[in-house]
A = this chain, B = another copy of it.
Amino acid sequence: MQCLSDIGEISLIKHLCSKLSMGSNVKTGPGDDCAVVTAENNSKLDILLTSDPVTQNIHFMPDADPEAIGHKAVGRVLSDIAAMGGNPLWVLLNTSAPKETPLNTADGIIKGAAALTEKFGASIVGGDISEGPTLSINAFAVGQVSKGKAILRSGASDGDVIFVTGTLGNSIKGKHISFIPRIEEGLYLQRKASSGIDVTDGLLMDLKRILEASNAGATLDLNAIPLSRDALDAKDDKTPIEHALTDGEDFELLFTLPKQVKDSVISEWNKTSLASCTEIGTIKASPGIEYIGSYDSIDLEKLSGYLHF
Contacts and interface: CB of A to CB of B under 8 A. Distances in A.
Given A92-B51, A118-B21, A126 B4 contact: no
B106 A4 contact: yes
B99 A20 contact: no
A40 B305 CA distance: 40
B97 A4 contact: yes
Interface string A259-283: 0000000000000000000000000
A84 to B, nearest CB: 12
Contacts of A2: 102-104
B51 A94 contact: yes
A50 interface: yes
A188 to B, nearest CB: 21
A129 B138 CA distance: 11
A12 interface: yes
A131 B54 CA distance: 10
Interface residues of A, number: 79
Contacts of A107: 16, 19
Contacts of A140: 49, 51, 92, 138, 140
Given A3-B99, A29-B126, A20 B50 contact: no
A107 B97 CA distance: 27
B4 A100 contact: yes
Contact of A3 (B29, B101, B128): B101
Contact of A94 (B6, B21, B52): B52
Interface in A1-60: 1-7, 9, 12-13, 15-16, 19-23, 25-26, 29-30, 34-35, 37, 39-40, 43-45, 47, 49-53, 55, 57-58
A24 B51 CA distance: 23
A111 B30 contact: no
A50 B49 CA distance: 13
B102 A37 contact: no
Nearest to A43: B40
Given A4-B99, A5-B100, A126 B94 contact: no
Interface string A143-177: 01000000000000000000000000000000000
Given A23-B121, A123-B23, A142-B49, A37 B3 contact: no
26 contacts: A2-B102, A2-B104, A3-B101, A3-B102, A4-B99, A4-B101, A4-B102, A5-B99, A12-B103, A16-B129, A19-B107, A19-B111, A19-B114, A25-B89, A25-B123, A30-B124, A30-B125, A37-B125, A39-B45, A39-B89, A49-B90, A49-B92, A50-B92, A53-B94, A58-B130, A132-B134
Interface of A: 1-7, 9, 12-13, 15-16, 19-23, 25-26, 29-30, 34-35, 37, 39-40, 43-45, 47, 49-53, 55, 57-58, 89-90, 92-94, 96-104, 106-107, 110-111, 114, 118, 121-134, 136, 138, 140, 142, 144, 308-309
Top 4 A-B pairs, shortest CB-CB distance: A35-B125, A138-B138, A5-B99, A140-B140
